[in-house]
Structures are given as C-alpha cells and as structure tokens.
Structure 1
C-alpha cells in the first residue's frame, strides 16, 4: 500500500550507522551496488541514490511496490517504504496526507508519525503530526468517524522532512537487516539441503559474508532427492544475492560413506563430519574463503553434543562458525519458512540410513582415531580435488 503518485523507495539501514565514517562509506557503496543488482535481477526500473542517512530508489508508481520488495530482500536493509516525494512545505504535505487518506483510510484508528531531519525548518515534527492529523480527519469525516490512536493505530501515515524535500508513506516492509553482502570475507557453507544448513548460510550472508556452497554427494545413502533439495535451497539463497556466484561444489562422497558404514560402528557420524570439514577446508583454500559454516546446534543431534563438536572441529585449523549454535529447532524452522527454504528442506531423502544404531555422544579424539579407518582425510582431499562446480 502506498500514497497516490508514489515515486520513491526510502531504504533504511541499521548497523551501518554504528560504523566509523570510513567503514560506513565503504559499506554504503556495497549496499547501493547490491540494491542495483536486486532491481536488475527482478527487471524493476529504478535508480539508487546513495544518500548518507537514507538511500533512495527513484522509480515510478507502476514499479514502486516491486522496488520495495527488492530492497526488502537485500542484506543490510532494515526496512523499505514506498513514498511520494514533494517539497518540504507544510501545506503541500497536508494536501498529500489528505489525498492519501481519501484513497486508503477507510475506518479504524490512525496516527501521523512525522520526523524532521532539518531542525532549521520553521516548524516542528509535532506541528506536522498535529496539523497533518487534522487534514486527514477533515478528508474522511464525511465518510466515517475517524479515530486517533497514537499508541497502536490501525493505519500510520509516515512523514519524513529534509532540507530540500519531504516524503509521505504508509507501509514499512521489513528487510533482513545485518550488513551488506560482500562487506565481509567469503566462507564455505556446508549445505545438505536439510532445514538447518540453508538457514545457517543465510545468517552468515546476513552478516555480510558471501558463501561458497559445498554439497557432499552421499551416493546410495543420499540419492537424487538428497541432491535436488540441496540445490533448490541454494537456488533460493541466490535470490538474496543476485550479483554473487553461488555455484555449488559437489563433492563425490558416496564411496567414503559406504566405507565408513562398512568399517565403523561407534563414532561413524563423527568421522563423517571430520571428512566434511576437511573437504570444506580444501575448498576454502582453493577459493580464498576465511572459514567454514555449518547448521549445527548444541544437542540437536547426537553428533552435535558440546563434546562431539569440540572433537570434530579439531580436524581443521579454519574457524567453524555455527550461527544456529544456541537456537531452538522451532526457531530455525520459523526462519526457514520466512526465507523460503523450508518446503524443499523437508523432502524425505533417506540419508538417515548412515547413522548407526548406537550413537556416540561423548567422544574422545584418541578413541575416535583408534577406530577410524586409515586414510580418511586423504580421501577428503581427493574428493575435494574431484569436485564438480555446478549451477544450483
């Protein structure tokens, strides 16, 4: 929903405002590039104006809602609003508020949220809120009895006033927040296609790090559906990063999985995890990635007890980041639904057949190495060297 004649998108960022001038300027440039890429990817017309406090997207009314959605899918954006641009003249603002009310205010309570950036203007935010509210009231009072509610209104009319222009808007569409993608170093993301790993990758992207997706093909223990769901979840993540390369490194792991199933009972899942980490380390060295990202959370699975995570992590010198470490499953599921990866992540792929009947929950590295088949890490290096790079 937007005011009649809306021609601008107000783009609000959050964490950028906590940065030094130099860092903010750097991140703002990246944010603008990503906004431009989001518009181009969706074939939405618009020009991005890199303003220091509030970037703007100039477009037309036909595309303004699509431009809002593009902005709201961009990492670093807290919210976006479709607005109409006008002179910072009080009477002009009141006229637009009245016209907007006649179009969209059909009952219930309302409020005016007015903000004045330029304190030199000869009126205050309170003046605009009060007098603008009167203009809205008078515009609709012949149709119904309006109601003012400053605490929890059904409809809020937003006004932002600057030195040379003002903006009137209605809705604010929430964005992901975080930092602009590309403002941090890339990381290798182990993606299985389950619920957790795509959410972990998304959370790392939200903090500015592009991902290098790595998928380990489990052979007969995974199958075509296992790979399909992994690729689909990565494809969904590409929608949040249209100007980044999210091709997937597909690792041949079927023979290794079969070997572990044949040779190991106790600790099998931990040795498989060590295999994954060493593969990720090899891909990180090849791509210049700075760390590994997984969807693990403490205690969610038997292989993810605090003790087991400590043991398996020692196979690599790279940091292993676990954005979901302390999150409850229902919270992770909610995020997966929100970002669009949940449906494909719940396809039954049968990979649970790898797990032994009796799980190891309190591993010790020395005991694990004593039963782990020789050459496992060499297998990981060879598998990484044989990786295919494919489009999701």
Structure 2
C-alpha cells in the first residue's frame, strides 16, 4: 500500500548555515544503508523522502531506520498528487484498512501556496471521513491520527510515526578511537558518541596466551551489533601479552592495572594518528572500580596526547545496563570471556595513585616504545558493514 517513506530530523534543522552539510550527509548515509531496499532518496522541504519499490521489505527497512543517527522519526506513507480530491481518496484508502472508532486529522502545510490552510484542510478531511466511514472526531484522545504533509509538488499521508534515535548523522563529527573491552560499558560509550555523529574505530587488546581466535568472536559480535548505528566499522585486534609480562616482572601488583591502561592508551594514540582521529573514548564510570577513581583516571588519562571522552562518567551500572539492553549489546557482553586484565589485577589495587609515582614506575619498563611497536606490528584489522 505504501509507496514512500517520510523522514524527519530534529537537531539538524537548527544547525543554521551548516544545515545543508548535515542534510547531505544524512542522505548519503541513507542511500548507502537502503541501496537495495528503496528506489530513490531525496530532500523535500525540510524532510527526506524515500521512494519504495512495489514490494517493500518493511521490517528490514524499519529496523535500519529505527537505529539510524540523525532521524527523529519516520513514517511509511502514501505519496499522492497535490489535489484535495486525491488527498481525500488516499485518506479513505489508508483508514479503511484499520480498526478504530475515533480519529483526528493533523496536517502540515510546508507549501504555503496550497489554497487551504492546515485548519481548513483538517476540517474538510474530518467531515469527509465522518461521512464515508461513520467515525467520530476526538481531538484530545483519538484512537488514530491521520497525518497529512503538504509539499510543493505532492502530498504525503500516513497514520503511524516510528521513533528514531535522533542525534547527528554518522561521520559528521569526526573519528574517535574506542577502547573496546569484552564488558558492558565500552560498547554503550561507543554508541552514545555514534549518536553524536562520530565515526567510531574500535581497538581491542587481548592476550593470545589466554584469548584464542574463537574467543575473539565475541568482540566481533559486539562490533557487528554496533555497526548498525554507523554503517561501517573497523576493528583493531592488538596482542599485548609482552607488555603484560613486563608489568608482572617489574611493577608492584597494586599499580599494574594503572600502568597497563597507560600502555593501551599510548597504543590507541598511535592508532588515532594513523586514522586521523581526534579523540579516544572509554567506558569509564566515576568510582565504579578501583582504576576509575578520580586520582587513577588522572594518572591514566595523562598518558594520552588526545582528549579522552567518557560519556558514562556520571552513570551508575544499572543505567549503563539499561542502555546496553536497549541497543542489543548486553546479551553479547555477558558471554564469558577471559579479559586481558586478570593477569595483572590485584586484590588490593591502589585507589589514589600519584602521577609522579606512576611515571617513576613506568620508567622502569625498558624499551617501552619497542614494546608498543611490537604490538602494532602484530595487530590484525577486521572490517564490518551494515
């Protein structure tokens, strides 16, 4: 029945002089994601229209658009000519197939040359529907709403708005390197920045003595799940067993986690330079674990030449879990997985480290740069696409 999709965005509409850039990027992203599912994607008076084929794959299209950064809401609609009689016929066709007793009409007139204003059109269509379908108008609590959008060359009618995730289109805010663990937090942190238009490049650190190739499938599943929010993803798999061996030999147990996190941030800095990224992102939540006290965050983050973003910093674990469930990463994150951290963890970690002590300990590691270089040389890269 439907021949088009009407897509509305929120934040993009208030971007002023940059609005055109964001709209074009959203259209480019939609064309890539829907290339085999729609006939055409184009702008029309503050909205985006997708023309549908004769047999649309509604469920597949809906799943993509519900998770598409930049979309506030969308609707499967019937596009018709800009004439009152055509609009009447389509409204009847649309409503006949649905069960309801009360309704209201909401029209939006982008094309001001249309002879009827919104209130007049609402009244005429309402009276027509009452006469033809014997239904009643209820403007406060209707069972169904008929939405009518009047544009310059055509009109669009629909009865169901489907909510998107909002935010900004993918790749409009630059590249960010995500330190992706096998846990719950870092995928959520990555998602929140995807919503802000960032292109996330994933970096996962593993110990090949503990993590076999089949174990890394969990990490790949997380990245694959998150790729639906950004179209394409890249995953760096970086072995760090030699660094961990040095830490165990030369660093007091209470400080090993802090030193290890400084190392992986320095490795992530090298990836950021290579990818022309402008920041890192971690799943840190203030005081959630010993390495995330304010003092330890300072000791760890000071090793980076790039800003480190922490979108979860003020959330508690339950709030993070709720987002993880919503985006579909929670069930993957709780699959058993041997993290790189246990080999260097301590039952009595330092919680209020001093940066001067941390740097002095780090200087005990011989040939630090060569250790980092060795990790990067043995790195594997995997690519994902929506």
Q: 1:193 aligns with which of 182, 189, 192?
A: 182
Does 1:155 pair with 2:144?
yes
**Other structure's SS at 2:187 match:** helix
Aligned to 2:70: 76
**Other structure's SS at 1:120 match:** coil
Deviates more, 1:176-185 or 1:379-388: 379-388
Does 1:322 pair with 2:310?
yes
Give, in whole Å, the separation in 1 of the partners of 2:358 and 2:49.
56
- Contact between 2:10 and 2:71, CA under 8 Å: does it hold in 1? yes
- Contact between 2:45 and 2:151, CA under 8 Å: does it hold in 1? no
Aligned to 2:227: 238
Alignment of 1:16-165 (within 5 A): 16-21=12-17, 23-40=18-35, 43-63=36-56, 65=58, 66-104=60-98, 106-107=99-100, 109-141=102-134, 146=135, 148-165=137-154
Q: Deviations over 1:6-55 (max 9, x none)?
A: 1111111122212233x222222221111011112xx3132111335111
Q: Deviations over 1:187-223 (max 9, x none)?
A: 1111113211112222222222212211101344555
Q: TM-score with structure 1 length normalisation?
A: 0.88
Does 1:285 pair with 2:280?
no
Unaligned runs of 5+ in 1: none
- Contact between 2:37 and 2:53, CA under 8 Å: does it hold in 1? no
Give, in whole Å, the separation in 1 of the partners of 2:373 and 2:353.
24
Distance 1:382 1:33, change over 3 A: same
Aligned to 1:374: 365
Give, in whole Å, the separation in 1 of the partners of 2:53 and 2:382.
38
Aligned to 2:238: 251
- Contact between 1:9 and 1:68, CA under 8 Å: does it hold in 2? no
**Other structure's SS at 1:267 match:** helix
Aligned to 1:170: 159
Give, in whole Å, the separation in 1 of the partners of 2:102 and 2:366.
70
Aligned to 1:297: 285
Aligned to 1:360: 350
Aligned to 1:390: 382
**Other structure's SS at 1:338 match:** helix
Q: Deviations over 1:68-112 (max 9, x none)?
A: 4433332211111111011232333232222222101x1354332
Q: TM-score with structure 2 length normalisation?
A: 0.90
**Other structure's SS at 1:114 match:** strand
Q: 1:342 aligns with which of 330, 344, 350?
A: 330
